[in-house]
Amino acid sequence: MKSVVGFPRIGPQRELKNYVEGYLEGKVKKEELEKAARDLRKYHWLLQKEYGIDLIPSNDFSFYDHFLDHAVMLGAVPAAYRILEDEIDCYLALAKGYQRDGIDLKALPMKKWFFTNYHYLVPTLTADTEFKLSSDKPFTEFKEAWHEGIKTKPVLLGALTFLKLARKTGVDIYNKHFWEKMLEVYIEILCHFNTAGADFVQIDEPVLVMDLEERDRRFLKEFYGALLKNKGKTRVILQTYFGDIRDVYQEIVSLDFDALGLDLVDGKLNLELISQYGFPEDKLLLAGIVNGRNVFRNNYQTSIDILQKLAHYVDKGRIVLSTSCSLLLVPYSLKYENELDEKVVPYLAFAEEKLQELSEIEEIFLSGDFSKHSFYLKNAELWNLVATDQSGEKEKEEENEYIRVPAWEERIKVQKEALQLPFLPTTTIGSFPQTPDVRAMRGRFKRGEVTKEEYESFIKAKIERVIKFQEEIGLDVLVHGEYERNDMVEFFGENLEGFVITKNGWVQSYGTRCVKPPIIFYDIKRKKKLTVDYIKYAQSLTSKPVKGILTGPVTILNWSFVREDMPPDRVAMQLAQVIKEEVLDLEKEGIKIIQIDEAALLEKLPLRKSEHKTYFDWAIKAFKAVCAGVKPQTQIHTHMCYSNFDDYLDEIARMDVDVITFEAAKSDFTLLDGIRESSLQAEVGPGIFDVHSPRIVPVEEMEKLITRMLEKIEKDRLWINPDCGLKTRKEEEVFPTLKNMVVAAREIRKKF
Ligand SMILES: Nc1nc2c(c(=O)[nH]1)N[C@@H](CNc1ccc(C(=O)N[C@@H](CCC(=O)N[C@@H](CCC(=O)N[C@@H](CCC(=O)O)C(=O)O)C(=O)O)C(=O)O)cc1)CN2
Ligand code: MET
Ligand SMILES: [Zn+2]
């Protein structure tokens, strides 16, 4: 048997993006949106059926985010949003906010989904949360598929994952009084599926791969002990992913689940757990061997090895082949890639190709002598060809070989002297709104409809306009606006050697926003300057300093797909080398401030604390390798967002940057206390407005914020800036806010 944990849902050509955004803009009717969603689901189910998948997921579809779907289904959303009676409107208000007709509802905050570039919406659980079955989405989808002749496996988010990842105010999630009602909802859902005739239901509990405590184990026993008494004929799969379940293996196998889904790609230790503690004879084992979060072909030899080891403990008949996690994290299909390097194509597998891999591996596994099977032989030949020889290439450098001299205290003096900025200097994070004309022009350039010269002069005109705007409103440190970049990582991938760029390899990052991660396939080299020309041009237009903006090595690595046989620390050092070359070129051209974005520094921080040190050691070493050798008077900034870096300030201090700007607008300033208490010396720019909200922020609001910040941070250490880049916003939203931001800073300066 073969199972898929979840399938992408944005549409093979990002159809859902256009429908949802169109609906929000009033250009698409509700019926059209619903039909588009039904068509996509049908397409996904039929495709999986075509490849012989036995356990095809449903309820893995979402208009915006599956975590929000779950919160809505449990009734765990604030009552204020119910003012919007229509189900979809209420849902989208939670996702995007709603400001119309005197109603002002804020969007829920977003957070990273484990170590991926997917972001989920975070509901808040309070003492007022009343759990109640409030949506029939999972049942509707099940019926819809049944209508197509497919009996799906409905997917539900697990209780512990939901409780642990939600925000809590004033509630103890482990208190039975709090979760009892939620248990009743889960029971109701299971009963529904039992009546509807579902053979399987999948409950996702990815938090089980994290460090767990005794109370988590107790919760699992109590909650699932009670739930599983109500499963009737429906068989319940407990699905885990993103690691191994070392802290709960024995508890989980002793519960009455009918099947256990284990990740054997990111959770290598799962195999050991099975060999050590055995596997119960009454359960199916869903063996996650096809990597759901990378785009490379499976190595069949590796997978067969794992399966054969498993077969010592579990009869072959009870082993179900599966993806390691949901395929949400990979693009749809290679069939849209007609311009890819032919040498590389055979090494890639997107979601659709992974379905085929499951079939092929099953066939090999069940055949008598697998080593003669044609699928096996073909795959072995492929991987033999690229087996890399890494002997002699070991990096010996230690982090402390990349020390910037002189030390921060000395450098910052030299820089203040050189830059002559007022105190509370104002700046932005780099990108300005990527207006539709910019996107459209790049589209035309890529399709060969306009020449390189036309494209470049278009970008230059944009730069000229944005420099003028920044001068007019009186910002102190200007930027060129990043108009030439489709994305802060893909752009670097396109312009460096060693990357492969897809045409349609879109992956959902949040809601309707997608990224097209570049693929690292060869050694990385820089054959030409990446950013120097436009930044130099911008600097030529003004006497104010223009900040050069680059993406750092760890972020490029973490937002790319990287070959599994390439050690990440080695790739990070190669990236550091090329970014360093760019930094030195910018410096040579007279750029005085260079920002090296590390928005994703913490993204792939291992889920288990015991593995953090190794990660930080190589990640920070790579970052420092970029900066060592830069002149003392060149000011190095970095920018971070989207992670809770509160907990890692001492590690971030080791990056030894001169200035750090970061997202803080939402976090109640606890971060500022943390900064004061940490070993971080750098000047800081805690974002003073949230770029994800379309609101125009008034001067007084920002003045108040700066005043409060000054209670925590000395006046000569504080920068004034937004909390992230402005690329996703509209000019009419951010231009007035930036203007207000500068006024606010000036008003505060007057008070000193
Ligand atoms: N890689 C990455 N990860 C990140 C972030 C990030 O900035 N980059 N930020 C955080 C939040 N995530 C984000 C993810 C995506 C977007 C985003 O804006 N994505 C855009 C796509 C950006 C892009 O590459 N656009 C292409 C346009 C491709 C296209 O469709 N072109 C059309 C024309 C479109 C038009 O006419 O408007 C065509 O060619 O026909 C370009 O600019 O070149 C989107 O979904 O819409 C923003 C934030 C965390 N993770
Ligand atoms: C996601 S972090 C974004 C940093 C980038 N320099 C920008 O302004 O868009
Ligand atoms: Zn950012």
Give per-residue pLDDT as tens, 176-225: 999 999 999 999 999 999 999 999 999 999 999 999 999 999 999 999 99
Q: Where residue 249 sits, what CATH number does that domain have?
A: 3.20.20.210
Claim to verify: residue 554 and residue 476 sit in the same structural domain? yes
Please say which residue of 352, 386, 420 terminates a domain: 386
Q: What is the pLDDT of residue 65?
A: 98
Ligand located closest to 428 CA: 2
**β-strand partners of 549:** 595
Question: How far apart, in whole angstroms, are the C-alpha atoms of residue 406 and residue 404?
Answer: 6
Ligand 1 center–CA 534 separation, angstroms: 20
Domain count of the chain?
A: 2
What pLDDT band is residue 387 in, cutting at 50, 70 and 90? Answer: low
Does a structural domain hold residue 394?
no
Query: Percentage of the chain surpassing pLDDT 90?
Result: 91
Query: Do 29 and 151 have their domain in common?
Result: yes
Position in ligand 1 atom list of the atom nearest CA 486: 42
Ligand 3 centroid, distance to 676 Cα (angstroms): 22
Strands 110-112 and 119-121: antiparallel
104 found inside a domain: yes
**What residues does ligand 2 touch, defined as CB less than 6 Å away?**
429-431, 482, 488, 549, 597, 599, 639, 641, 724-725, 727
pLDDT (mean) for 645-671:
87
Say if residue 229 is in the same domain as residue 261.
yes
Same domain, 416 and 361: no
Report residue 564 as tokens.
């599994």
| Closest CA to ligand 1's atom 40 | 443
The mean pLDDT of 94-101, rounded to a whole number, is: 91
Rounded to the nearest whole angstrom, what is the distance from the C-alpha of residue 419 to the centroid of ligand 3? 24
Specify whether 503 is located in the same domain as 645.
yes
Q: 692 catalytic, yes or no? A: yes
Report DSSP state, residue 718. B
Nearest to 683 by CA among 480, 427, 391, 352: 427
398 belongs to a structural domain:
no
Mutate to test the pocket of ligand 1, among 113, 441, 446, 487 (most ligand atoms within 8 A of CB): 487
Cα Rg of the chain (Å, integer): 26
Whether omega for the bond prior to residue 331 falls within 30 degrees of 0, making it cis, is no
334 is a domain residue: no
Q: Same structural domain for residues 168 and 43?
A: yes
One domain for residues 22 and 111: yes
Residue 397 domain-assigned (yes or no): no
- Closest of 496, 518, 521 to residue 575, by C-alpha: 496
**Are 355 and 438 within one domain?**
no
SS (H, E, C) 241-255: CCCCCCCCHHHHHHC
Say whether both 382 and 415 belong to one domain. no
Task: Tell whether the torsion through CA atoms of 271, 348, 67 and 12 is positive or negative.
Answer: negative
337 falls within a domain: no
Mean pLDDT, range 361-384, rounded to an integer: 91
Domain of 673 in residue numbering reads as 406-750
Residues 374 and 289 in one domain: yes
Beta strands in 53-164 (DSSP E): 57-58, 98-100, 103-105, 110-112, 119-121, 124-125, 153-157
Detail the residues annotated as belonging to a binding site for Zn(2+). Answer: 639, 641, 663, 724
Distance 568 CA to ligand 1 centre (A): 25
Cis link prior to 568 (omega < 30° from 0)? no
Give the closest ligand to the alpha carbon of residue 723.
3
Q: Give the Cα separation of 642 and 462 in Å (integer).
A: 28
Q: What is the mean pLDDT of the chain?
A: 95
Summarize the confidence of residues 369-384 as an average pLDDT: 90
Does 391 reside within a domain?
no
Give the end of a domain, one of 386, 420, 454: 386
Question: In 364-512, at which residue ranges do the beta strands (DSSP E only) sit?
Answer: 497-500, 507-510
Asked if residue 449 and residue 359 are part of one domain, the reply reads no
Q: Confirm if 653 and 678 have CB atoms less than 8 A apart.
A: yes
% of the chain residues with pLDDT over 70: 98
- Closest residue by Cα to atom 50, ligand 1, is 117
Same domain, 381 and 453: no
pLDDT (0 to 100) of residue 248? 98
Residues having CB within 6 Å of any atom of ligand 1 = 117, 434, 436, 439-440, 442-443, 486-489, 509-510, 513-516, 559, 642, 728
Task: Check: pTM over 0.90? Answer yes or no.
Answer: yes
Structure tokens at 694: 């379309």
Contact 45, 56 (CB under 8 A): yes
Q: Which of 480, 579, 639 to mutate to test the pocket of ligand 2 (most atoms within 8 A of CB)?
A: 639
**Distance from Cα 214 to the centre of ligand 3, integer Å:** 37
Query: Rounded CA gap, 551 and 546, in Å?
Result: 16
Residue 472 lies in a domain: yes
